[in-house]
Amino acid sequence: MKNSGTFNVTTHGDREIVVTRLFDAPRKLVFDAYTKPELIKRWLLGPNGWSMPVCEVDLRVGGKYRYVWKSDADGHEMGMGGVYREVLPPERIVLTEVFDEAWYPGEAVDTIVLVERTGQTTLTQTILYNSRETRDAVLKSPMQRGMAASYDRLEKFLPSLGSEALSA
């Protein structure tokens, strides 16, 4: 996929993870994909072999959302949810997130900002955790328990880092 190269994950300050990514679509569509249940269910599925049987969204300040994923293999379920703090279509969403099986302490606050330029949209998603320890634990733990995607080994990863840097 040609936009994979625009995807960046980094840390900011002590408590944040910042994700940026470019999409070939106007931001209204990206906003819809992040906020309409029938669209969320088509992409936010976790690794292969998981589905999203529950996706409820009450898109207004103070409104709640709830997501549940399910493993086809063993039926294991994993849920999360939270509250919308800011809803500003089509450019900004702030929401809290708490997992049912708390794999990190407290709730995190997610800020999603969409910037459109010539029909393309840059997503910046900042996840603010309640402490540095929590943020670092999130990065160190396999993503969302049981949903851990396999990752490349260092040897495979480094050459790609290098070619990306040299062609930049």
User: Three-state SS for 104?
Assistant: coil
Q: How many CA atoms lie within 13 A of 164 on its CB side?
A: 11
Which range touches other proteins (CB under 8 A), out of 60-68, 82-90, 98-106, 146-154?
146-154
Q: How far is the CB of 19 from other proteins (least distance, A)?
A: 6
Nearer CB in complex with other proteins: 60/167: 167
Helical (H) or strand (E) element with 34 = helix 27-35
Q: How far is the CB of 162 from other proteins (least distance, A)?
A: 3
Tell me the C-alpha distance between 82 and 85, whole Å.
9
Contact with other proteins (CB under 8 A) among 11, 56, 76, 106? 11
Nearer CB in complex with other proteins: 52/83: 52
Q: Is 152 in the site for other proteins (CB under 8 A)?
A: yes
Residues 48-67 binding other proteins (CB under 8 A) are: 48
Query: 54: which residues sit within 8 A by CB, 6+ positions away?
Result: 66, 67, 68, 79
